[in-house]
Amino acid sequence: MAQEKILIVEDEKDLVKILKYNLEKEGFRTLSANDGESGLALFRKEKPDFLVLDLMLPKLDGLEFCKIVRKESRTPIIMLTAKKEEVDRILGLELGADDYVTKPFSVRELIARIRSILRRVSDSQNIATAVRAGELEIDLGRYEVRLAGKPITLSSKEFEFLKCLIQARGRALTRDDLLKNVWGYDLSVEIDTRTVDQHIARLRSKLGSEAGRLITVKNVGYRLKTD
């Protein structure tokens, strides 16, 4: 199996050392940068498979970094944040980061999350299903969603939601089903079913004229109307 290349952008040099050591021990290749600008240059040059990105960085902060990367690629991103309050900003800004951890965090936990995201990405690459519903075109294999021919940018969680709903073929999925499928079973993070509702709301707003296809089923959850 190919060794995935992980870029760490973090200005705390000791933390970079610890992360590199542990990730390499787990069989990953690593690259690192200590500020946003050189991190972005390295990202563009090396095209890593995964990005571990600190929020507070010199020169170019993690939020801007993340936005720029999302315009250019779908490389999975985990953000590192020093403060719990920043989590709201990360989620609220819809940056398209795939996950985040709050410092101090356990390296094992971080690695587990990296693996889980990489697994999801490779699973979805193995499915070559394209679905069309009204003005909406969803290519699960290519990770592309278009509305009336125009590409829509989804975070990978939003994409995963959509994928689960498509695979349910019109059946309703409960919030718990969606949580399990999108975040996995082995989570020790504070995610509750309201998170599902928040993601669905964001997804709806991105689906524009086709938002009505995402149907709330009272006391159950959600379904996607594809006919």
**Residues within the interface to Ca ion (CB under 5 A):** 11, 54, 56
Tokens 């690593």 belong to 30
| CA 219 distance to own-chain centroid | 27
C-alpha closest to that of 143 among 120, 171, 165: 120
- Closest distance between Ca ion and the C-beta of residue 87, in Å? 15
- Nearer Cβ to Ca ion (50/65): 65
- Closest distance between Ca ion and the C-beta of residue 12, in Å? 6
Q: Side-chain half-sphere of 94: how many Cα atoms within 13 Å?
A: 14
Q: Which residue is closest to Ca ion by CB?
A: 56
- Nearer Cβ to Ca ion (55/173): 55
- Nearer Cβ to Ca ion (35/197): 35
- Nearer Cβ to Ca ion (54/177): 54
Long-range contacts: 154-159, Cβ < 8 Å, 24+? 154/96, 154/203, 154/206, 155/94, 155/95, 155/96, 155/97, 155/98, 155/202, 156/74, 156/76, 156/96, 156/98, 156/117, 156/120, 156/121, 157/98, 157/182, 157/199, 158/199, 158/202, 158/203, 158/206, 159/124
- Closest distance between Ca ion and the C-beta of residue 157, in Å? 24
- Closest distance between Ca ion and the C-beta of residue 97, in Å? 15
- Closest distance between Ca ion and the C-beta of residue 48, in Å? 19
- Nearer Cβ to Ca ion (39/48): 39
Tokens 């973090």 belong to 10
- Closest distance between Ca ion and the C-beta of residue 10, in Å? 6
Tokens 């309703």 belong to 172
Residues in Cβ contact with 83 at an 8 Å cutoff, skipping those fewer than 6 apart? 102
- Nearer Cβ to Ca ion (56/112): 56
